[in-house]
Each structure stands twice: as C-alpha cells, then as structure tokens.
Amino acid sequence: MLVLPQINLQQSPDWKSYQLLDCGDGRKLEKFGPYTLIRPEAEAIWHPSNPELWQKANGEFVSTAEKNGGHWVSNKNLPERWQMDYKKLQFWV
C-alpha cells in the first residue's frame, strides 16, 4: 500500500470568504463565499480526503477543448455573481 505524506495546506488569514476544502484526483474543492465550487488542479494527484463533501458542490468547471478551455456546470442554485472580500477589498465573483 502506498502511503502519502501528510499535506500541510497554507491558508491566508486575510481571506474572509475563501477556503480550500479538499483536493485530489486532479481537482480542488473550494468555498467562495457561501458557494462551493470544483476546479481543475493538475498537481492534486492523490485521492480526495472527504469524497462525500464533493457531492454538495454548487458548480464545477469542466475542462474541454473549447476556446476558453472548458465551461461551468451548475449543480445547484448558483447565482450569476456574488460578493467576496479580501482584506479591505470587496469584489464580485
């Protein structure tokens, strides 16, 4: 059995509305404000640590050969945009 080393995720204390929840199988699960999204992450070559959590994602960026490299698929009520904060900066996602 292959045993991988414990991964130490570094989080920025300045992010009030972002969190990396899990990663693996070439993807990352992230919380942006109140919404959970799945995005590609080529360096996440291990298996996710909490597979059940991924089922609750609001949307996923699916990589394809399209002009922009893929498209978003919304699994649940995902608004067109929402506000996030970083330090004193507020912006729309």
Q: What is the pLDDT of residue 86?
A: 86
Report the DSSP pairing between strands 89-92 and 83-86: antiparallel
Residue 29, Cβ density class (10 Å: 0-12 exposed, 13-18 middle, ≥19 buried): buried
Write down the CATH number for the domain with range 18-92: 2.60.40.1180
**What is the per-residue pLDDT across 17-41, written as a single tens digit (0 to 9) for each?**
899 999 999 999 999 999 999 999 9
**Mean pLDDT over the full length of the chain:** 85
Integer Cα distance of 92 and 9 in angstroms: 26
Q: pTM of the prediction?
A: 0.78
Stated as kind and residue range, the H or E segment containing 52 is: helix 51-54
- Give pLDDT < 50 ranges for the chain: 2
Q: What is the pLDDT of residue 45?
A: 94
Integer Cα distance of 16 and 12 in angstroms: 9
